[in-house]
Amino acid sequence: MGSRRKARECALQMLFAADVSLTPPDELVRTYWAELGEPEIEEPAREFATRLATGTLAHADELDERIRLRAEHWRISRMAIVDRNILRLAVYEFLHEPTPRTVAINEALEIARRFSTYEATQFINGILDAIKRDLDEHQPQINVDETMSAEGEEDQPRDTDESEDDTESEK
């Protein structure tokens, strides 16, 4: 598993804890890394996870409003805690990180497959795809390579083909 995926999972765990305990963000982050966070996670991934969690919490009202507009017949408070925080995390990346939106969706779905249900994965995909379409229409991302985030190759979308160089080096 890539370090950025692991960072997203750590951020999700912090968001879950915040949702359940209503702990202030600074205390939540401190407690998470002291007691629950994996000690082997590298500092850049730790910083990314912390930035995602604290940013998501800071913009929760804005994120929930975007989700609410696309989650027809679903109140945010009635969604499973994991699912609503996966949605919040991905929408935060759409709006406040240089991550390509397609990558944010792919990562959210991979995390949902691990931490939620098959039905939830479909639900999350539908909502994120609708929000992405809205944003692409009104706030297109510029200077973002759809196959790579600004910070590394780990965020490549799943549907890209391997290059011939990669195939040759595996022989």
- Say what the pLDDT of residue 38 is: 80
DSSP letter at 73 equals T
Split at pLDDT 50, 70, 90, the class of 160 is very low
- The mean per-residue pLDDT over the stretch 59-69 comes to 96
- Say what the pLDDT of residue 144 is: 60
Tokens 């598993």 — which residue? 1
DSSP letter at 143 equals S
- Say what the pLDDT of residue 138 is: 87
Find the angle CA(77)-CA(53)-CA(149) to the nearest 5 degrees.
115
> 55 and 99 in contact (C-beta within 8 Å)?
no
Sign of torsion over alpha carbons 59, 61, 62, 67: positive
Split at pLDDT 50, 70, 90, the class of 1 is low
Split at pLDDT 50, 70, 90, the class of 157 is very low
What share of the chain in percent tops pLDDT 90?
73
Find the angle CA(86)-CA(92)-CA(95) to the nearest 5 degrees.
145
* Spatial CA neighbour of 33 closest among 4, 7, 59, 5: 7
Say if residue 117's pLDDT is above 90.
yes
- Say what the pLDDT of residue 60 is: 96
Say if residue 151's pLDDT is above 70.
no
Nearest-angstrom CA–CA distance, 7 and 155: 12
Nearest-angstrom CA–CA distance, 22 and 43: 26
- The mean per-residue pLDDT over the stretch 121-150 comes to 80
DSSP letter at 78 equals G
Tokens 């039905």 — which residue? 119
- Say what the pLDDT of residue 163 is: 33
How many CB atoms are located within 10 Å of the residue 123 CB?
20
Say if residue 158's pLDDT is above 50.
no
More reliable by pLDDT, 9 or 149: 9
